[in-house]
């Protein structure tokens, strides 16, 4: 009894990790700020030194927001030479933002995402699609990362990270492979009709019984999600410099279908596995940057 039977494996589980950028010289530390983004599914933290990303962490949100905030903050401080008390200003954001105990201020994730995307991809970014664990946000911003228009769809969990976790579990495909698998069909089948994740699951089971392959079911669901997301982006205003943030930015099946539907390529994502910034930390990064601005403002400079 060493290995779990296949049906008991946690196919939905994604990688939790933390990173410190020790490849640079961080000697002059004037302003040290942190951003803690407690999302519905993932908690993210970022530490910035003088407005440059120093360390970040990504973990799963538990049932308790303050504990999740403390956990991710503990993770981000690991392997750094900083202590909690070295951080001069902390901004809490995301779904659980009012429950971040170490935060000096809570700011909505919309403002933080735009600021963070502006940092990660540069000032040319105008349109941001954030596909979170439990909602989808379409944001339009200016060259400073200030939000100009915003739309959130949190009516249901379909087309979100949580919906994808449900499908990974149902089809027994590890969540990290789900994008690739959804693209392995020759042609996309018609999208599933249901937008609700509970009903989509029922529909998917029906299709599997009818003899559809896992790949085909996944392709149909991913396509339905991509269509929903594309609609939101169009409503808020699509521009050429378009990026996707949040957990689903790592789902190549979603990203490539949205690009096809909208006829626009997303700006290339930095590769977090090879030392680049992670599109999942846009909110935390933006929170840390706004924290720096607020800190300097409070000092009167």
Q: What angle do CA 260, 261, 264 make, to 5 degrees?
A: 60
Give the H/E segment covering residue 54. Answer: strand 52-60
Question: Can you list the alpha helix ranges (DSSP code H) found in 15-146?
Answer: 65-77, 109-121
Residues 143-182 that bind other proteins (CB under 8 A): 146-155
22 touches other proteins (CB under 8 A): no
Tokens of 114: 């735009």
The C-alpha atoms of residue 285 and residue 37 are separated, in whole angstroms, by 9
Tokens of 45: 């933290």
Radius of gyration of the chain (CA): 19
Q: How many helices (H) and strands (E) does the chain have?
A: 8, 10
What is the three-class DSSP state of 117? Answer: helix
Count the neighbouring beta carbons within 10 Å of the beta carbon of residue 205: 12
Q: Which is nearer to other proteins, 14 or 242 (CB)?
A: 242
CB of 297 to other proteins, least distance (A): 6
CB of 178 to other proteins, least distance (A): 24
CB of 291 to other proteins, least distance (A): 11
Q: Which is nearer to other proteins, 194 or 252 (CB)?
A: 194
26 touches other proteins (CB under 8 A): no
What are the CA-CA distances from residue 248 to residues 178, 196, 226 (Å)?
10, 18, 11
Q: Which is nearer to other proteins, 108 or 184 (CB)?
A: 108
Q: Which is nearer to other proteins, 82 or 236 (CB)?
A: 236
The C-alpha atoms of residue 68 and residue 62 are separated, in whole angstroms, by 6
The C-alpha atoms of residue 165 and residue 128 are separated, in whole angstroms, by 22
Chain centroid to Cα 62, Å, comes to 16
CB of 231 to other proteins, least distance (A): 5
* Count of residues interacting with other proteins (CB under 8 A): 24
268: region left, alpha or beta (phi > 0 left; psi from -120 to 50 alpha): beta
CB of 36 to other proteins, least distance (A): 16
Q: Of the listed pieces 22-30, 73-81, 230-238, 255-263, which binds other proteins according to CB under 8 A?
A: 230-238
Q: Pick the binder of other proteins from 34, 38, 45, 107 (CB under 8 A).
A: 107
Q: Of the listed pieces 38-46, 117-125, 198-206, 293-301, which binds other proteins according to CB under 8 A?
A: 293-301
CB of 290 to other proteins, least distance (A): 8
Q: Which is nearer to other proteins, 175 or 284 (CB)?
A: 284
299 touches other proteins (CB under 8 A): no
CB of 153 to other proteins, least distance (A): 5
* Residues of this chain that bind other proteins (CB under 8 A): 107-108, 110-111, 146-155, 195, 228, 231-232, 235-236, 290, 293-294, 297
């Amino acid at each position: 009894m060493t290995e779990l039977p296949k049906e008991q494996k946690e196919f939905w589980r994604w990688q939790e990790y933390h990173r410190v950028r020790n490849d640079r010289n961080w000697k002059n530390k004037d302003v040290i700020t942190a951003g803690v983004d407690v999302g519905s599914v993932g908690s993210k933290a970022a530490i910035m030194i003088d407005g440059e990303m120093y360390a970040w962490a990504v973990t799963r949100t538990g049932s308790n927001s303050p504990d999740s905030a403390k956990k991710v903050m503990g993770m981000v401080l690991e392997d750094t030479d900083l202590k909690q008390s070295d951080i001069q200003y902390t901004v809490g954001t995301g779904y659980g933002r009012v429950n971040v105990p170490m935060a000096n201020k809570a700011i909505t994730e919309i403002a933080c995402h735009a600021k963070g995307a502006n940092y990660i991809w540069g000032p040319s970014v105008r349109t941001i699609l954030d596909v979170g664990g439990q909602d989808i946000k379409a944001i339009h911003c200016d060259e400073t990362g200030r939000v100009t228009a915003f739309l959130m769809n949190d009516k249901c969990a379909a087309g979100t990270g949580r919906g994808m976790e449900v499908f990974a579990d149902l089809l027994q495909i590890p969540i990290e492979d789900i994008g690739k698998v959804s693209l392995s069909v020759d042609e996309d089948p018609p999208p599933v009709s249901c937008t609700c994740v509970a009903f989509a699951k029922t529909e998917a089971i029906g299709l599997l019984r009818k003899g559809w392959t896992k790949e085909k079911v996944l392709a149909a669901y991913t396509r339905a999600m991509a269509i929903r997301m594309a609609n939101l982006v169009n409503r808020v205003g699509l521009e050429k410099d378009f990026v996707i943030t949040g957990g689903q930015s790592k789902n190549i099946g979603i990203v490539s279908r949205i690009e096809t539907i909208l006829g626009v390529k997303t700006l290339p994502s930095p590769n977090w596995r090879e030392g680049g910034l992670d599109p999942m930390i846009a909110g935390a990064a933006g929170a840390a940057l706004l924290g720096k601005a607020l800190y300097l403002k409070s000092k009167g400079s």
